[in-house]
Amino acid sequence: MTIGGTVLAACVQPTQFLGMNIWQQLMLFRFIMGMGVGGEYPMASTITAESSAPGERGRNLAAVFSMQGVGRVLCALMLLVAAFTIEDTNWQWRFAILMGAVPMIMAVYFRFTSEETEAYKHQVEEKVISVRDRTRNIIRLVWANRVKLLGTAGSWFILDVLFYGNSLFSADVTRAMGTENTLEGKTVQNLIIQLMAMPGYILAVIFLDRIGRKRLQLIGFGGEAIIFAAMAIFQQQFKGLPALFVFMYALTFFFDDFGPNTTTFVIPAEIFPTDVRSTCHGISAAFGKAGAAIGAAAFLKVANMFCPGDNCHNTEDPALLDKGIRVVFICCTVLAVIGFLWTLALVQDTPHKSLAEVESWYHVEPEKEGEVKALEIAVIKDHEALDKSPSTTEQEAKVV
């Protein structure tokens, strides 16, 4: 579905096709692609959680999620390549979208040949129950874990509303960079912005297990609240200092990725029972995407609320847009505080007991004093005894 939706989106027609204009075609095919991505999210996290040793699970989950950052950088690179090498803008965006299918095509073989995890086989597949009973069991377990699900789904929703508030003032940041206001210049700006996010992903991989999931999420929401509050209070001062303004913008990405953007992916993969681990992760991710849609639409309205006709593109007074952006910063501050309190009250990060079986497979008892040495001596003695005893061939020859 991800490959098909992506390829079809790159092939949309500017004329009516099946009664749909080009925008409706894009919406349909991106929806199909989104359904595929919606399946990959919980599957990737669940397989990683159930296949990792306890001391490596958090790091592995964060590393899997950090590929989002790598993908964003590669996407920006494809846009840059298209802008500088393809003259026809109609083919530029089609090329960029189509290139998104390449990594998925490369992964198809591994996806089709992968097997269920041992945890799933032992804890779910071995239960011989009907589809109806399985569905009832899923509903029962989801309801039994509703408080945990409220914590993960709610925090992911708040994060994505907040995250997409960031995108609205990226134009102010790119103007502060001083690059050309051309298509080529904008692709360079976009690449720089995506590279800003990478340190957060990398540090999350390194420090997640040391800091802890819930604590890192609190750090991220808390850091964002402080930064957005500072940008709301000192907006004009920051705009007069372009380097500082870009740095503050980069910090919002840093605390997103070194915080809730990573932990909202990791926590649902660990705290739910094996029977509904992927289901609850998928529900949490779905709430996140709903937050993204609401955030993008709502913040756009807020940013343009002071301009004539709620549209700042045609206004000659930049102060009107600045007022809207300040309100966006205030809203982001409030949302970050809500995310912090939501995490504090509702998010749990203790791994579910069903992962204990996975942990037992990787558990190695510590060596007792002298145990290995005694084993070495016993093995040597056995070899010496075998060397001294007559071989089977010699014994058979004597019998003959």
String of DSSP letters for 246-315: HHHHHHHHHHHHTTHHHHHHHTHHHHS-GGGHHHHHHHHHHHHHHHHHHHHHHHHHHHTTTSGGG--TT-
The encoded tokens of residue 300 equal 């756009």
Q: What is the pLDDT of residue 298?
A: 85
Structure tokens given for 63: 């590393």
Q: What pTM was computed for the model?
A: 0.79
pLDDT attached to residue 396 = 47
Helix (H, G, I), strand (E, B) or coil at 20: strand
Distances (CA, A) of 28 to 75, 98, 192, 212, 275: 21, 16, 31, 40, 32
pLDDT computed for residue 170 by the predictor: 66
Residues 142 and 139: their CA atoms lie apart, in Å, by 5
Which residue from 35, 29, 24 is spatially nearest to 10, judged by alpha carbons?
Answer: 29
Mean pLDDT in order along the chain per 10 residues (400 residues): 86 82 87 84 83 82 89 89 87 88 85 74 64 85 92 94 72 57 77 84 92 94 92 82 79 89 91 88 91 84 77 70 82 93 92 67 55 69 66 49
Question: Hey, is 348 helix, strand or coil?
Answer: coil
CB contact set of 195 (below 8 Å; sequence gap of 6+): 73
> CA 217 to CA 331: how far, in whole Å?
19
pLDDT at 304: 77
Tally of CA atoms within 13 A in the half-sphere of 214 that contains its CB = 16
- Amino acid 10: pLDDT: 86
For tokens 């709610």, the residue is: 154
Domains and their CATH numbers in the chain:
2-115+151-361 (1.20.1250.20)
